[in-house]
Amino acid sequence: MRFMIIVKSCEAFEAETSPTPDDPALMAAMADFHEEMARAGVLLDGAGLHPSRTGWRIHYD
> What does the pLDDT read at residue 21?
67
For residue 38, the SS3 value is: helix
Q: Based on the number of CB atoms within 10 Å of its own CB, is 13 exposed (0-12), middle (13-18) or buried (19 or more)?
A: middle
- Cα separation of 52 and 1, whole Å? 26
- Cα separation of 8 and 6, whole Å? 6
Q: How many CB atoms lie within 10 A of CB 15?
A: 10
Cut 0.85: pTM above it: no
- pLDDT per residue over 3-55, tens digit each? 777 777 677 666 766 556 678 888 899 889 989 999 999 988 887 777 777 77
